[in-house]
Structure 1
Amino acid sequence: MSDSKVETIARLAQWKIDNFGPCSFKRSDPFKLGIWNWFMSIERNRYLYIHIFPEPSRLSKEQPPVARFILRVSNSSGPTRKVYISPVHERVLRTSEDFVWPVDTAFLGRFVIDIEFLDLRTCPVNGETRSVWPSDGKLQTVAAQSTLRCLSHMLDEAIHADLTIITADGTLRAHKAVLSASSTVLHSLYLDNGDEKETSTINMEDMSQESCMALLSYLYGTIKQEDFWKHRLALLGAADKYEIGDLKDACEESLLEDLNSGNVLDRLNDAWLYQLQALKKGCFSYLFYYGKIYDVRDEMDTFFRHADRELMLEMFQEVLTISK
C-alpha cells in the first residue's frame, strides 16, 4: 500500500507514513469526508508541520468548510509509543495555509496521523453555516415520514376506525382521535349528547365522498397536491365550518396564486363569504389597480345582482381610494 493513501471511517481520517526523513515533504492522496475532497501534507524543518486543506474546487470556493477537529500523531505501537494530541481546532479551511500544526517531535521513519472531525459545516458566502452530516432535523424528517405512512395505512384500511362519516354520496370510516385533534368543532361533537356521540357517526352531507376523502387525507397528513387543487373550494368550506385554520390559510393562498379574469369575481365572492382578507385584497388589486375590471365588464351585471351590499360598498370605496 502506498504511504500517500489516507484511510477513512466514519469521521476519522488516518494517514500511515512508512518512511519520512529529517528534511522531507510529503503530500497525501485526496480523501473524501463530508462533501469535500481533502489533502494532508507534512514537512519537517525543526518541527513536524502538519497541514490539512480541501481540494481546490468550485465547491470549496463557494462553500468552504468550517471544520472542528482534533489531530493525533503517534509512532509505532510498543513500549516506546508516543502520542501527541492537538487542542480542538475550529476554523474555515480554504487553502493549505489556513491550518498548520507544528509538532515538536523527532519522529522519523514510520508514524501515524489521525484527524477526527467533530463537525463539518458549510460556510456559504451569505447565510448561516449548515452541518453536512445527519442531524436531529433529518431524524425528525424520517420519523415524520414513518408516521405519515402509518396514518395513511390507518385511513386507507380503516384500521381500528371508530367513526362513520355520512357524505352526500356515500360513507367513509375514520378515527375520532385524529378528527378531534384537528378541530375543536369536531371534538365538541363527541362531548355533546347528540347523535354523533351515541352512534359514532358524523353527518357531512354537504360534501361529496371524494371531497370528504380529500379532507380526511389532509387531516391525516397524506393529501396529494392534485387532490388539494381539485377539491380546494370544498376544503375551504369545510375548513371554515370546522375551524381548521391552517387548511383555511392554505386554501386562501392557493386561490390567490391562480387569480385570473375568468375567476376573479367568483374568488371575490368566496373571499367575502369566508372572510379571506388577503384574497379579497388581491381581487381588488387585480380588478382596480391593474385595470382588469375592463376584462370582466360583461360579468359585472350578474355579479352585482347577487353580491352582498357591503361588498359592493367596499368595491366602490376601493375604486375611490385608487383614483385619488
Structure 2
Amino acid sequence: MSTGAANSSDSKVETISRLAQWRIESFGPCSYRRSESFKLGIWNWYLTIEKNRFMYIRLFPEPCRVSKEQPPVARFVVRVASPGPNRRCFVSSVMDRLLRTSEDFVWPVDYIFQGRFTIDVEFLDLKIASLNGGDPYPLLCTEGLLKSVSSKTSLQCLSRMLQDGIHVDVTIKASNGFLKAHKAILASSSPVFESMFLHDLREKESSTIEIEDMSLEACSALLGFIYGAIKQEEFWKHRIALLGASDKYDIADLKDCCEESLLDDINTSNVLERLHEAWLYQLNKLKKGCLLYLFDFGKIYDVKDEINTFFQHIDRELMVEMFQEILTAWKPA
C-alpha cells in the first residue's frame, strides 16, 4: 500500500468547538493517507482516507491508556466536500458508536476526489464508555470553568441558606413568581445589586428586586449560580437568559461561563444566533469562533438560506465586519 508523500500542512486537522476539518489539497496518486492527531475532549484523534473502488474514511482515537481505560462513545456526522461552484458534498448518517480502533468506523464514499476537498467531522455528543457495562457518562469540557467557580467548600453553606430560606431578607419578583434571597450575598456577587442596597433606591426601601424580564426558573438558575447550587442541566437550559442577566448585573464569572458554553456547541443551526449574541453582549471570543466557523471552515454555504434574513436585522458594524471576514477568507494565497 502506497502512503504517498504529504506535507505537514496537508495532514493537519483544524478544530473549533466540536468541529474538526481536514483540508486536503490533492489525494494524487496516493492510496492511503493519515492525518496528524487532533485533540477533542480528552482524546487525540486520527482521520484516514483510503482509495480503492470507493474512498474509505476512518475516524478513531489514538491507541493509548486514556482511550483504553476511558474509551469514547461519539455521536457524529462526517461530511466530504469539494470547494467552488461545482461543489460536491457527501454527508454520512448520524453515527452513534463506541470507538476504540480504526475498524469501528469505516465510511465508504462512492466518489474519488481528484483535487482539493475537505473532510468535516462534527461531534454532536461525546461520552465516556463505562467499563462495567453501565451507561456512558457525559464528558464535561468547558463546563470545567463553571465547576471551578461554583464548587468551593464555603458555597455549600450558602447553598443551604438559599434552599432552606435561612434568614432571607430580600424578595425577587420574576415574570411569573417570587423568590427569596439575601441582600449580602447578592451585593457581594454584583456591583449592580450592591448599588441598589447602598443608596436610597426603591429596592433598599422595599427589600424587593424586580427582574420581570426573566422567568421564575431562570431567576432560580441565576440564584443557583450565585449561591453555588446550580446544576449543569439548569445552566444549560437557561444560559441565554443567564447571559443577559450576567451583562445586566455585571456578574463577570457567569458571563465567562456562558460564553465558554455557547462556544462549545456551535453548529449550523445556531451559529447566526450565537454571532448576534456575541455582538450584543460584546463576547469577542464567541464572535471570533462564529466567524471562524462560518468563513475559515466554510460553513457559510450551509446557512445561505438564513443569511439574508440575518443581514436585515443585524447592526451595520457587524455586517461590515462579516464582509471583511469574507474578503480575508477568499483572498488568494
Q: TM-score, with normalisation over the residues of structure 1?
A: 0.55
The Cα shift of 1:148 comes to 2.9
- Alignment equivalent of 2:159, drawn from 146, 152, 161: 152
Aligned equivalent of 1:187: 194
The Cα shift of 1:191 comes to 1.5
Q: Which amino acid aligns with 2:318?
A: L
Is the CA contact (8 Å cut-off) linking 2:156 and 2:228 kept in structure 1? no
**Separation in 2, partners of 1:199, 1:157:** 22
**2:191 matched to 1:208?**
no
- Alignment equivalent of 1:259, drawn from 261, 266, 287: 266
**Separation in 1, partners of 2:178, 2:194:** 20
Aligned equivalent of 2:205: 198
**Separation in 1, partners of 2:254, 2:229:** 13
Aligned equivalent of 2:230: 223
**Separation in 1, partners of 2:199, 2:328:** 49
The Cα shift of 1:159 comes to 0.8
Question: SS of the residue aligned with 1:171?
Answer: strand
Paired residues, number: 182
Aligned equivalent of 2:8: none
Residue-by-residue CA offset, 1:42-90 (whole Å, 9 max, x unaligned): xxxxxxxxxxxxxxxxxxxxxxxxxxxxxxxxxxxxxxxxxxxxxxxxx
Is the CA contact (8 Å cut-off) linking 2:177 and 2:216 kept in structure 1? yes
The Cα shift of 1:256 comes to 0.3
The Cα shift of 1:199 comes to 0.7
The Cα shift of 1:189 comes to 0.5
Q: Which amino acid aligns with 1:309?
A: R
Aligned equivalent of 2:240: 233
Question: SS of the residue aligned with 2:198?
Answer: coil
Question: SS of the residue aligned with 1:278?
Answer: helix
Q: Which amino acid aligns with 2:211?
A: M
**Separation in 2, partners of 1:247, 1:150:** 20
- Alignment equivalent of 1:311, drawn from 318, 325, 328: 318
**Separation in 2, partners of 1:256, 1:176:** 33
Aligned equivalent of 1:288: 295
CA RMSD of aligned residues (A): 1.4
Question: SS of the residue aligned with 1:148?
Answer: helix
Moved over 6 A (4+): none
The Cα shift of 1:190 comes to 0.7
The Cα shift of 1:162 comes to 0.4
**Separation in 2, partners of 1:323, 1:292:** 13
- Alignment equivalent of 1:250, drawn from 254, 257, 260: 257
Question: SS of the residue aligned with 1:299?
Answer: helix
Higher mean Cα deviation, 190-199 or 282-291?
190-199
Is the CA contact (8 Å cut-off) linking 2:171 and 2:209 kept in structure 1? yes
Q: Which amino acid aligns with 2:261?
A: S
**Separation in 2, partners of 1:145, 1:189:** 27
Aligned equivalent of 1:93: none
Question: SS of the residue aligned with 1:190?
Answer: helix
Q: Which amino acid aligns with 2:310?
A: F
**Separation in 2, partners of 1:250, 1:218:** 10
**Separation in 1, partners of 2:304, 2:329:** 19
The Cα shift of 1:323 comes to 2.0
**Separation in 2, partners of 1:149, 1:306:** 44
Question: Relative contact order (C-alpha < 8 Å, sep 6+): which is higher?
Answer: 2
The Cα shift of 1:193 comes to 1.4
**Separation in 2, partners of 1:311, 1:146:** 43
The Cα shift of 1:145 comes to 5.9
The Cα shift of 1:188 comes to 0.3
**Separation in 1, partners of 2:246, 2:266:** 20
The Cα shift of 1:146 comes to 5.0
The Cα shift of 1:149 comes to 2.8
Q: Which has the larger radius of gyration?
A: 1
**Separation in 2, partners of 1:239, 1:152:** 19
Q: Which amino acid aligns with 2:292?
A: S
